[in-house]
Amino acid sequence: MESVITLLRDSGAMLEGHFLLSSGRHSDRYFQCAKLLQYPDRAASALAGVAEKIKLDIQAGKVEIDAIVGPAMGGIVVAYELGRQLGLPAFFTERDDTGTMVLRRGFEVPPGQKILITEDVVTTGKSYGECAAALENLGARITALACLVDRRQTDVTIPWLFYPACGVHAANWEADSCELCKKGVPFVKPGSRKV
């Protein structure tokens, strides 16, 4: 099995430069995981270790999962692939016309259903937090979070079991303290969420 970092690089998914992230923060690296996830074999390989850890924790009674949900866009393919490997239903939340994360398209979450949330990249926790809130409002219970890339700063904590495929250090600044802005380096915004 190839390492996740190798898969990210070989897929052109790990970019370097000056980026405006969906969170509004700035960074010197951007992870366009869709470049990796477009290849089913690479997606399967990148998430195999995560699926194996989750299976072991389910067998050991450390976590219960009834379904897997990823916030659109980044979490959809990750949810599908982990659902395939774990034999669990996988679906997604998405933003409505007001920008609020909701469950639509006829997907249902019965009260008490235990959910694993998936993401492509975890930075500030905004997307998975909005996804969790939408699901909890319907009575679901979030039990774990999984992702391809964990690029969090130390001040971002996750309240559930956490299953990252890899952890990568990437600079992460508030816009007004960005080192690259201070040097006059122009940024690009490759993400899909409006800041």
pLDDT value, residue 155? 76
Give the pLDDT confidence score for residue 123 in this predicted structure. 85
Distances (CA, A) of 185 to 20, 30, 132, 178, 188: 12, 15, 36, 10, 10
Q: Does domain 4-182 have CATH number 3.40.50.2020?
A: yes
From first to last of its 195 residues, what are the pLDDT tens digits of the chain? 459 999 999 999 999 999 998 878 899 999 999 999 999 999 999 999 999 999 999 999 999 999 999 999 889 999 999 999 999 999 999 999 999 999 999 999 999 999 999 999 998 888 899 999 999 999 999 999 999 999 887 778 899 999 999 999 888 898 999 999 999 999 998 866 555
Residue spans per domain, the chain: 4-182
CA atoms lying within 13 Å on the CB side of residue 109? 29
- Bridge partners (DSSP) listed for residue 121: 149
Query: What pLDDT was estimated at residue 24?
Result: 85
Q: How far apart are CA 94 and CA 112, in angstroms?
A: 21
Neighbouring CB atoms inside 10 A of 67's CB total 20
